[in-house]
């Protein structure tokens, strides 16, 4: 029984989500191999080899794999699938894009967003925006799984796995990469941050959002997040959205400022270790999950908080 | 060109579901059901493409119990031209792979140039069906779309990915799944609801399509998520900072 982890990388380095995925794969009980499919991704493959618990790294190099197009990455995974009992992806935008395509091509079901490995075929996963936890058993011969990264600790460094170069699958030729617009940020990545400062509709404008929350985030070395309302209103970029349909986060400290706490938002942050809510509405549902609630106007409370730190 | 839009009937997004005490599932008896929010966005996008003259016919599809007819009527009130219900028994656990196979059979029959689905259903939170359909039908996929532009025999899809946006160009026919910011779905008007009643709705069974819908994943148990311990309200910022430093030790 061997699990293949499909690494998320940018050709130069391995993304953090891969480390949590390796931990989940190791919990399945067999060997763990890692696939690095990319273009000129030797550095990423070398980095993958250093993850503790990895027995082998498979490195496929082709210009067709450069931008991680689902059609081509899926073809690459299919070419390898026969040797594996489990195909394990991080439940990130990239993993969610490719994994179901692989599962369908193998005619097997996929288990999405697992938060716990019960046994090699049984997993826990949240459903209904995290309002229920389902324990499910996959009955297919090959298990295709995506891993909720906040459910597992990142694997440590210190491995020394061999890197094996493998043949790259041919370009499927049905899609091509056009371009990318990356949100520039020198803050910690939202899904990996230890502290997150998140703002909601109550901030009122993009200017206020930055003016009020940036100093607090700077002070704490925190990532900035946002509720859907704040993103839809244009106060914050899309990829800052925390919730059922945005990022799922579980930092040490989550500060929710001016966020009411709709079910869909709670689904993305309620596994945080400590939750602080700052809201002037005493009835806001966010107070029901907050460890510390401050009933105050955020426009005075947040600057006060910055001063007090 | 023809567009196929699969829609799902789910528990309304405002309802906080309750786990059944016997651990067999969540209690959805007597709970308000609606169209999955991402699917409304999918229908809206198809209607906008029709209004631009790119699309000539919109076929809405739903797989599930007989009551899913209601949401197909809603889809037709938004602007779908006709609808197909793949009716399955109420006691069947219909999973994404089975739905993808049913949709593949309909794609073979209807030959759409574009299939637009929601990125995920808010009940099972799977985020699989669109990708699976694309795989089975041998089509390229544009998932988590925030912009869709048909240009000749290609469709350019701007996707919401971790860290920003990315644009891919797909050969038609293709599968697109919608993200929240693709559009703002319109409200259905009473006259359109009346008109939707007269639009054709065809019902088929999985057997008619030659698809085996047996579940591949067994649900062993459904439980309540762990409850968070009760929190406290603090009177002022100084107390908050003090508690975070000394009690929670997170800063």
pLDDT at B249: 85
Q: Is the peptide bond before B247 cis (omega within 30 degrees of 0)?
A: no
CB A257 within 8 A of CB A203: yes
Q: Is the pLDDT of residue A276 over 90?
A: yes
- Helix/strand/coil (H/E/C) assignment for every residue in B173-186: CEEEEECHHHCCCC
For residue A244, the chain B residues in CB contact (below 8 A) are 122, 125
Q: Is A215 exposed, middle or buried (0-12, 13-18, 19+ CB in 10 A)?
A: middle
Q: How many CB atoms lie within 10 A of CB B1?
A: 15
For the whole model, what pTM was predicted?
A: 0.96
Mutate: best of A78, A90, A101, A136, partner B, most B CBs <10 A: A101
Please report the DSSP string for A9-69 in residue order.
B-SSSB-HHHHHHHHHHHTTSSEEEEEEEESS-HHHHHHHHTBTT--EEEEEE-GGGTT--
Which chain A residue is nearest to residue B104, measuring alpha carbons? A104
Please say whether the dihedral angle defined by the alpha carbons of residues A168, A169, A172 and A173, taken in this order, is positive or negative: positive
* A240-269 tens-digit pLDDT: 999 998 999 999 999 999 999 999 999 999
Nearest to B135 among A105, A113, A181 (CB): A105
> Could you tell me which of B114, B103, B10, B101 has the C-alpha nearest to residue B55?
B114
Q: B244 vs A22, A306, A309, B66, B234, CA distance in Å?
A: 32, 13, 11, 53, 11
Residue A232: Cβ within 10 Å count: 16
In chain A, which residues have their Cβ closer than 8 Å to the Cβ of B223? 132-133, 135
Identify the pLDDT of residue A184.
Answer: 80
pLDDT over threshold 90, residue A219? yes
- ipTM score of complex: 0.95
Strand partners, A137: A122, B218
Closest CB to B216 among A92, A140, A304: A140
Question: What mean pLDDT is reported for chain A?
Answer: 96
For residue B170, give the nearest of A174, A245, A276 by CB distance: A174
**CA neighbor of A271 nearest in space, from A122, A156, A130:** A130
State the pLDDT at residue B229.
Answer: 80
Mutation target vs B (from A292, A297, A299, A303; most B CBs, 10 A cutoff): A292
Q: Higher confidence at residue B228 or residue A133?
A: A133
Looking at the complex, report in whole angstroms how far the Cα of residue A146 sits from the nearest Cα belonging to chain B.
10
Element housing B222 (H / E) = strand B217-223
pLDDT of residue B123: 96
Model confidence pLDDT, tens digit, residues A149-159? 999 999 999 99
In the predicted model, what is the mean pLDDT of residues A102-122? 98
pLDDT of residue B251: 82
The pLDDT of residue A52: 97
Subunit contact B234:A122, Cβ cutoff 8 A: no
Candidate from B119, B140, B221 with C-beta closest to A175: B140
Per-residue pLDDT of chain B (251 residues; tens, 9 = 90+): 999 999 999 999 999 899 999 999 999 999 999 999 999 999 999 999 999 999 999 999 999 999 999 999 999 999 999 999 999 999 999 999 999 999 999 999 999 999 999 999 999 999 999 999 999 999 999 999 999 999 999 999 999 999 899 999 999 999 999 999 999 999 999 999 999 999 999 999 999 999 999 999 999 999 999 888 889 999 999 999 999 999 988 88
Q: Per-residue pLDDT for A79 more than 90?
A: yes
Which residues of chain A neighbour B135 with C-beta distances below 8 Å?
74, 100-105
What 3-state class would DSSP assign to A145?
Answer: strand
Q: Is A119 near chain B, with CB under 8 Å? A: no
Q: For residue B152, what pLDDT is reported? A: 94
Q: State the Cα angle at A109 between B88 and A33, rounded to 5°.
A: 175
Instruction: Report the share of chain A in percent with pLDDT over 70.
Output: 100
Among the listed residues B40, B69, B80, the one whose alpha carbon sits nearest the alpha carbon of residue B184: B40
Banded pLDDT at A39 (limits 50, 70, 90): very high
- The pLDDT tens digits of the residues spanning B163-175 come to 899 999 999 999 9
| Contact criterion met (CB below 8 Å) for B202 and B87 | no
- Quote the crossing angle between the two packed helices A93-105 and B129-137, to the nearest 10°: 50
Provide the β-strand partners of residue B160. Answer: B165
Q: Give the model's pLDDT for residue B163.
A: 87
Judge whether B147 and B155 are in contact, CB under 8 Å. no
pLDDT for B250: 86
């Amino acid at each position: 029984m061997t699990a293949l982890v499909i690494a998320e990388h940018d050709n130069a380095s391995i993304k953090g989500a891969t480390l949590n995925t390796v931990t989940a794969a190791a919990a399945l009980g067999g060997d763990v191999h890692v696939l690095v499919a990319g273009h000129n991704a030797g550095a990423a493959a070398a980095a993958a080899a250093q993850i503790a618990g990895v027995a082998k790294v498979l490195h496929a190099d082709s210009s067709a794999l450069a931008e991680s197009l689902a059609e081509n990455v899926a073809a690459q995974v299919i070419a390898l699938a026969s040797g594996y009992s489990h195909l394990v992806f991080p439940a990130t935008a990239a993993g969610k894009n490719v994994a179901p395509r692989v599962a369908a091509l193998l005619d097997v079901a996929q288990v999405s967003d697992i938060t716990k490995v019960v046994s090699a075929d049984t997993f826990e996963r949240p459903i209904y925006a995290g309002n229920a936890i389902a324990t499910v058993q996959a009955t297919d011969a090959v298990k295709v799984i995506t891993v909720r990264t906040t459910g597992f600790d990142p694997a440590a460094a210190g491995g020394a796995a061999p890197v094996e170069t493998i043949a790259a699958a041919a370009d499927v030729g049905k899609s091509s990469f056009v371009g990318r617009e990356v949100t520039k940020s020198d803050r910690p990545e939202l899904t990996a941050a230890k502290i997150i400062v998140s703002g909601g509709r109550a901030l009122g404008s993009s200017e206020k959002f930055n003016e009020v929350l940036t100093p607090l985030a700077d002070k704490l070395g925190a990532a900035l997040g946002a509720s859907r309302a704040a993103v839809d209103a244009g106060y914050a970029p899309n990829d800052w959205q925390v919730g059922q349909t945005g990022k799922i986060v579980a930092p040490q400290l989550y500060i929710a400022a001016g966020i009411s706490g709709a079910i869909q938002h709670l689904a993305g942050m309620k596994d945080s270790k400590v939750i602080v809510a700052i809201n002037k509405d005493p009835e806001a549902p966010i107070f029901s999950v907050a460890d510390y609630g401050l009933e105050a106007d955020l426009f005075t409370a947040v600057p006060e908080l910055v001063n007090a730190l | 060109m023809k567009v196929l839009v699969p829609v799902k009937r789910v528990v309304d997004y405002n309802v906080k579901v309750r786990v059944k005490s016997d651990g067999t599932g969540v209690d959805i008896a007597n709970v308000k059901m609606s169209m999955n929010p991402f699917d409304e966005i999918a229908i809206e996008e198809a209607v906008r493409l029709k209004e631009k003259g790119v699309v000539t016919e919109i076929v809405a599809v739903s797989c599930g119990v007989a009551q899913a007819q209601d949401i197909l009527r809603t889809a037709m009130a938004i602007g779908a031209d006709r609808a197909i219900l793949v009716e399955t028994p109420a006691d069947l656990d219909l999973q994404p792979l089975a739905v993808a196979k049913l949709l593949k059979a309909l794609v073979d029959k209807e030959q759409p140039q574009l299939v637009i689905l929601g990125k995920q259903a808010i009940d099972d939170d799977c985020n699989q069906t669109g990708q699976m359909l694309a795989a089975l039908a041998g089509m390229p996929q544009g998932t988590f779309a925030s912009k869709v532009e048909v240009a000749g025999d290609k469709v350019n899809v701007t996707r919401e990915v971790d860290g920003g946006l990315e644009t891919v160009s797909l050969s038609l026919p293709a599968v697109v799944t919608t993200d929240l910011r693709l559009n703002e779905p319109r409200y259905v008007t009473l006259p359109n609801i009346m008109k939707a009643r007269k639009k054709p709705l065809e019902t088929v069974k999985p057997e008619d399509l030659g698809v085996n819908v047996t579940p591949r994943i067994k649900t062993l148990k459904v439980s309540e998520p762990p409850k968070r311990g009760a929190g406290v309200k603090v009177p002022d910022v100084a107390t908050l900072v003090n508690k975070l430093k000394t009690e929670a030790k997170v800063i």
